[in-house]
Amino acid sequence: MAKTSAGRYFEDFRIGDVIRHAVPRTVTTGDVALYTALYGPRFAVQSSDAFAQAIGYPRSPIDDLLVFHVVFGKTVPDISLNAVANLGYAEGRFLATVYPGDTLTATSEVIGLKENSSRRTGVVYVRSTGWRQDGTKVLEYVRWVMVNKRDEAAKPHTELVPELATTVDPASLGAACPSIHAAGWDFGLSGAPHRFDGYAVGEKIDHVDGMTVEDAEHQLSTRLYQNTAKVHFNHFAQVRTRIGRRLIYGGHVISLARGLSYNGLANVFHVAAINSGAHVAPLFAGDTVFAWSEVLGKADLPGRSDVGALRLRLVATKDRTCEDHPLRAGHDYEPGVILDLDYWALIPR
Amino acid sequence: MAKTSAGRYFEDFRIGDVIRHAVPRTVTTGDVALYTALYGPRFAVQSSDAFAQAIGYPRSPIDDLLVFHVVFGKTVPDISLNAVANLGYAEGRFLATVYPGDTLTATSEVIGLKENSSRRTGVVYVRSTGWRQDGTKVLEYVRWVMVNKRDEAAKPHTELVPELATTVDPASLGAACPSIHAAGWDFGLSGAPHRFDGYAVGEKIDHVDGMTVEDAEHQLSTRLYQNTAKVHFNHFAQVRTRIGRRLIYGGHVISLARGLSYNGLANVFHVAAINSGAHVAPLFAGDTVFAWSEVLGKADLPGRSDVGALRLRLVATKDRTCEDHPLRAGHDYEPGVILDLDYWALIPR
Amino acid sequence: MAKTSAGRYFEDFRIGDVIRHAVPRTVTTGDVALYTALYGPRFAVQSSDAFAQAIGYPRSPIDDLLVFHVVFGKTVPDISLNAVANLGYAEGRFLATVYPGDTLTATSEVIGLKENSSRRTGVVYVRSTGWRQDGTKVLEYVRWVMVNKRDEAAKPHTELVPELATTVDPASLGAACPSIHAAGWDFGLSGAPHRFDGYAVGEKIDHVDGMTVEDAEHQLSTRLYQNTAKVHFNHFAQVRTRIGRRLIYGGHVISLARGLSYNGLANVFHVAAINSGAHVAPLFAGDTVFAWSEVLGKADLPGRSDVGALRLRLVATKDRTCEDHPLRAGHDYEPGVILDLDYWALIPR
């Protein structure tokens, strides 16, 4: 029996398979400090225990995207070690608050399979779930990846392309956000006066600042998440590929863009759901990341007067500023666009 | 109303303005680990809970300069986002001990304004204060920065150049250092036998070692402090400037030099005050930092027999060793000098 | 009296000298997070408090190699500041579990001295011991280093080459591993089904993955361990040497290789002893590290049915994959081999 894992190929997946992923991971204030050092986030709830307590949290929760990256990292050895590309996300929901000291595990269910016309690859759809040590679901999301076949002649047992919601129903949001004491929210300390009513559908915000990424930085982050995808770490192998360089984990881009988005979205404190997301183009060390946001929608949360939900498009670019809100040029994305993420986030009312 | 902050310009400041800065920040042992990884400090009180407890602390306090950087970082978006240069520091005093778990906030009062003869910029003087979650002042310092004007024709409401003490009165030192149990100080563990009486005014010490700085390192540190100054992170913009590269945060240099100074000042465990400081020249990635110190003065602390104060000049250089104690060549600093810091520090008697 | 330490030269050592090293160091979850970010280890016991508790630990212990590096780091200023090369390790044993919050100190006894025929250097043998704040030994190992002489004419007081065991007696292993509740070991969560009986003497395992190292990374790690060896940090000085670059701390290679070895040794959760080790060739930034392992032996632990010991050879290479298990070419190591480490590790039965 082979001791090392070569990862699953397309024909190894079956619809309905439920995969329990290794390795459980306790998240600590050490991880929080590294997350701050890597992306510079300034959202007050995650930055300050005192601020979090003033609105009703027992202490600062772990940043939602750090939870996402840790859960995502666990799925890599089983789902995407032989992936060609990470194609998309949908139906992502944050379901419970995670605090320092909590331990995360992950499972994935195979919910779709579709061979590509080339016969050399296929698309695998999984619904991945993150769990807390007490058995509570903390996160759920669908992603689909293009995975190599071991054997071109192999056929999938069943093919199915799942029907996925284009957006998460806002009525289902907010499970990971306790009822907050809105009067305790100090808009001076949080950094901006804008609350739910201050944002309008259609509004576009250039987040202005740029952040250049170094190889050491994305390697530190990706290892922190115990994400083992080879393309991020192995210069020796990458220079022998068409790409020629280490690829930066797409989640690193999401966290950088979310960090930059503080400048314009200072009170948008909680990522509640991921409607859809695409890594439009790769990022490499030495590139500078910029970001802009568009308010795509607004929603009340049933029975809650403390917070409202903004549906936001977060676009990241590389080596291109965003004052003109670059996105599409015809059917394609504009050159320089690297991320197009559609998510729901909470903000005080 | 604009959602993003463009920062204040010279004409936006008024004498007497008190600015409450965003974002509160809880400092943890995660931050301490990163601080150690970034600068390699070896001062025993901050390195070891057991050592700290043996002399009367409840546990290791947060490094004074880490407190300084976190407080400084908060002031950047309001004070120096449009700064041309950070000109100086004075009247800095550490006022209360900070421990892991404490949350820091900051305020600044505008205490001086002076338009430059070019009319394109002016100098803004602020007294910044760091606060603990319980309302205790932990740090106070004055800094002055050269800030761009939005409109050349604008005039400051009032002009005033504050009178600042050239040194902090040693009688006011020590508030952030609890009374220590000197018999518990283990000079074997701390790394050197030299105590207060072992240093003489005029003594110069070459700290010998050199430390090369990488872009990933100073970016991690500066984001850790939530310091948003654009010049440190945005290669894309910096290559389009006269400087052509990312500038390293001056505080990174101070912490590197302080770390190097352990070799010669092993028992100088607490920075109590900053008398004055100047970033003489910029530091860039790839440069190697060296440091030397001069004992400028010595002082008893009123009513305290546990510790004494050394007034120290800490000089940092780049790509130049310090065995000849480089400082000035006529009116100018010698080539290679990048930092000239005058501070008070405590050492056991 | 000189304030800075120039380190000991060969003639400064005497057989029987016991050196107490500065500086005590409290290890925290912050250090654990950085260790994870630097090497990406995935061994479940160290990654998850919940997993550790399920088998009987009070919480996740500190990674054995992190303990080793912290203890090693303390010895550098006294033992190897003037070293030319770190020649070998032997008789290393982990003696007590270390948890976050514990404080480590170190001592070394000089157990051997041998002048080299060149008369410019000599070999110093020390037995170094790491201690917990409660006076418990946590680690003991012998290392020998080639150290410069200050004065070529100086002779060592006594010469002695100690007799060292070629392997640590397996009957002495296990002190740092509490009796574990084997039924609580979840082989799904740990990442592989292989336990003690699943490994055979002579078995060779290629760990497949490669990890490229950046200067920022090894500098962060080496400072984290408060290891002050100049060759790792000072580009300005190194470019003036024959080597021309910063050298990467050998322990960084050990931790990288151990991290890579998870893929094949997922349940080998505890390094119990170091039989011998050699840094065969230097590693530099930009190089990619690969690793493979060979099972050299197996042993029962007296009176324990929970765990068994595997004697493993861990070989690391640079810019060379390991599917052919590179090691020796005649008397020499094969080009590309950088580490040859022989250790005992524990695994559930």
Among A3, A32, A63, A241, the strongest candidate for a mutation testing the C interface, having the largest count of C CBs within 10 A, is A3
CA-to-CA distance for B255 and B314, rounded, in angstroms?
11
AA letter at C218? H
Chains that touch B (3 or more CB pairs under 8 A): A, C
Rg (CA), chain C: 20
Q: What span, in angstroms and rounded, lies between the C-alpha atoms of C21 and C77?
A: 8
Token pair recorded at residue B92: 């800095």
Distance from the Cα of B23 to chain A's closest Cα (Å) equals 5
d(CA C249, CA C341): 15
Pick the closest to residue C263 from C319, C322, C304, C215 (CA basis).
C322
Contact B3 A189 (CB under 8 A): no
3-state secondary structure (DSSP) of residue B307: strand
Helix (H) or strand (E) holding C314: strand C304-318
Asked if A30 and B33 come within 8 Å (Cβ–Cβ), the reply is yes
Q: Is the peptide bond before A213 cis (omega within 30 degrees of 0)?
A: no
Q: CA–CA separation, C232 vs C251, rounded Å?
A: 12
Q: Which amino acid is residue C320, in one-letter code?
A: R
C contacts of B206 (beta carbons < 8 Å): 4
Query: Which tokens go with B113?
Result: 């304004």
Q: How confident is the model at residue B86 (pLDDT cuts 50, 70, 90)?
A: confident
DSSP SS3 for C114: strand
Taking contacts as CB-CB distances below 8 angstroms, the residues of chain C near A233 are 209-212
With beta carbons under 8 A apart, name residues in chain C contacting A5: 192, 263
Contact: B38, C220; criterion CB under 8 Å: yes
B290 neighbourhood in chain C, CB within 8 Å: 236
State which fold the A1-27+62-164 domain adopts. Answer: Thiol Ester Dehydrase; Chain A (3.10.129)
pLDDT score, position B157: 82
Subunits next to C (3 or more Cβ pairs <8 Å) are A, B
CATH 3.10.129.10 corresponds to the domain A168-349: yes
Report the C-alpha gap between C102 and B59 in whole angstroms: 12
CA distances from A271 to A314, A342, A348, C84, C348 (A): 12, 11, 13, 53, 41
**Amino acid (1-letter code) at residue B337:** V
Residues ≥6 apart with Cβ < 8 Å to A237: A230, C210, C288
Of the candidate CATH numbers 3.40.50.720, 3.40.50.800, 3.40.605.10, 3.10.129.10, the domain formed by B181-349 belongs to 3.10.129.10
Burial class (CB in 10 A: 0-12, 13-18, 19+), C212: buried
Q: Contacts of residue B219 in chain A, CB cutoff 8 Å?
A: 212, 214, 217
Q: Among B6, B20, B233, whose Cβ lies nearest the Cβ of A211?
A: B233
Cβ pair C212:A216 closer than 8 A: no
Q: Are C309 and C275 in contact (CB under 8 A)?
A: no
Other beta carbons within 10 angstroms of residue A70's beta carbon come to 25
Best B28, B81, B131 member to test A by mutation, with max A CBs in 10 Å, is B28
Q: Which of C23, C26, C221 sits opposite B189 (nearest CB)?
A: C23
Q: Collect all residues of chain A within an 8 Å Cβ-Cβ radius of residue B31.
A: 33, 36
- Within chain A, all domains assigned CATH 3.10.129.10 are found at 1-27+62-164, 168-349
Chain A residues in contact with C36 by the CB 8 A cut-off are 31, 223-224, 226
- Check: CB of residue C326 under 8 Å from CB of residue C261: no
- Please state the rounded mean pLDDT for residues B136-157: 94
Residues forming a β-bridge with A93 = A140, A273
Q: Mean of the pLDDT values across residues B175-199? A: 97
In tens, the pLDDT along B263-277 reads 999 999 999 999 999
Q: Which fold has domain C1-27+62-160?
A: Thiol Ester Dehydrase; Chain A (3.10.129)
Cα(C229)–Cα(A73) distance, integer angstroms: 35
**Minimum CA–CA partner of B207 in chain C:** C4
How confident is the prediction for chain C on average, in pLDDT?
96
Select from C5, C23, C252 the residue whose CB has the most chain B CBs within 10 Å, as the one to mutate to test that interface.
C23
Domain with CATH 3.10.129.10 in chain C: 1-27+62-160, 187-349
Look at residue B1 in the predicted model and tell me its pLDDT.
62
Amino acid at C340: D
Q: What value does the mean pLDDT of chain B take? A: 96
CA–CA dist A187, A189 (Å, integer) = 5
* A68 φψ region: left (φ > 0), alpha (ψ -120 to 50), beta (else): alpha
CATH class of C187-349: alpha beta
Interface size, chain B vs chain C, as Cβ–Cβ contacts under 8 Å = 138
CATH number of the structural domain B7-27+62-152: 3.10.129.10
Q: Are B57 and B184 in contact (CB under 8 A)?
A: no
Contacts of C29 in chain A (CB under 8 A): 28-30
CB A293 within 8 A of CB A257: no
Q: Measure in Å the smallest separation between the Cα of A308 and chain C Cα atoms.
A: 34
Residue C213, min C-alpha distance to chain A (Å): 8
- Spell out where A207-336 has E strands: 211-212, 270-279, 288-301, 304-318, 328-329, 332-333
Does the N-terminal peptide bond of residue C124 adopt cis geometry, omega within 30 degrees of 0?
no
Q: Is the peptide bond before A23 cis (omega within 30 degrees of 0)?
A: yes
Distance to chain C for A262, nearest Cα, Å: 25
Sign of CA dihedral A233, A91, A16, A125: negative
Pure H helices in chain C: 29-39, 44-47, 49-54, 64-79, 187-190, 215-224, 235-238, 250-260
Q: Distance, in angstroms, between C83 CA and closest chain B CA? A: 15
pLDDT digits (tens, 9 = 90+) for A131-147: 999 999 999 999 999 99
Would you call B60 and C5 a contact, using CB atoms and an 8 Å cutoff?
Answer: no
| B134 contact partners, CB below 8 Å, separation of at least 6 | none
**Mean pLDDT for all residues in chain A:** 96
Residue A166: what residue type? T
Give chain B positions within 8 Å (CB) of C285: none
Q: State whether A48 and B24 contact (CB < 8 Å).
A: yes
AA letter at C210? G
Give A346's Cβ-side CA count (13 Å radius): 28
Residues of C in contact with A6 (CB under 8 A): 208
- Cβ atoms B72, B86 nearer than 8 A: no
Contact list, C29 vs chain B (CB under 8 Å): 29-30
Q: Are A148 and A10 in contact (CB under 8 A)?
A: yes
Q: What's the token pair of residue A341?
A: 């993420």
B42/C22 Cβ within 8 A? yes
Distance separating alpha carbons of residues C256 and C211, to the nearest angstrom: 8
Scanning the structure block, which residue is given the tokens 């212990």?
Answer: C61
Q: Please report the pLDDT score of residue B121 as a whole number.
A: 94
**Tokens 């809970």, residue located:** B49
| CB-closest option in C30, C101, C230 to B28 | C30
Which among A269, A263, A339, A260 is positioned nearest to A308, based on CA atoms?
A269
Write the pLDDT tens digit of every residue in A206-216.
999 999 999 99
| Gap between the Cα atoms of B284 and A193, Å rounded | 37
Contact B214 A215 (CB under 8 A): no
C-alpha of C232 from chain center = 17
**How confident is the model over C127-156, as pLDDT tens digits?**
999 999 999 999 999 999 999 999 999 988
pLDDT recorded at residue B163: 97
- Contacting subunits of A (3+ beta carbon pairs below 8 A): B, C
Amino acid at A327: L
Mutation for C interface: A66, A231, A236, A238, most C CBs within 10 A:
A236
Which residues of chain C make contact with A31, given a CB cutoff of 8 A? Answer: 33, 36
Can you list the positions of beta strands (E) in chain B?
A: 18-26, 83-94, 103-115, 121-132, 137-148, 204-206, 211-212, 270-279, 288-301, 304-318, 328-329, 332-333, 337-348
Please report the pLDDT score of residue B243 as a whole number: 93
Residue-wise DSSP of B152-163: TT---SS-B---
Mean pLDDT of A308-331: 97
Residues of C in contact with A236 (CB under 8 A): 210, 212, 288, 319, 321
Residue ranges of chain C with pLDDT lower than 70?
Answer: 1
Residue of C nearest to A226 (CA): C40
pLDDT band at B85 (very low <50, low <70, confident <90, very high): confident
Q: With the CA atoms of A229, A234, A239 and A244 taken in that order, what torsion angle do they form, in degrees rounded to the nearest 10?
A: 40
Whether residues C237 and B29 touch (CB distance < 8 A) is answered with no
For β-strands A211-212 and B121-132, DSSP reports them as unpaired
Q: Report whether A133 contacts A25 (CB < 8 A).
A: no
Mutation to test the B interface, candidates A36, A203, A218, most B Cβ within 10 Å = A36
* Identity of the residue in C1, C5, C103 whose CB atom sits nearest the CB atom of B50: C103
pLDDT on residue C1: 62
| Proportion of chain B above pLDDT 70, given as a percent | 100
> A39-93 pLDDT, tens per residue?
999 999 999 999 999 999 999 999 999 999 999 999 999 999 888 888 999 999 9
Smallest CA–CA distance, residue B198 to chain C, in Å, is 9
Q: Where in chain B is the domain with CATH 3.10.129.10?
A: 7-27+62-152, 181-349
Query: Which residues 6+ apart lie within 8 Å of A345 measured at CB?
Result: A265, A268, A269, A270, A271, A272, A309, A310, A312
| pLDDT for res C84 | 86
DSSP state of A167: S
Q: Where does the pLDDT of residue A1 fall: very low under 50, low under 70, confident under 90, or very high at 90 and above?
A: low
> If we measure between CA atoms, which residue out of C260, C257, C250, C258 comes closest to residue C221?
C250
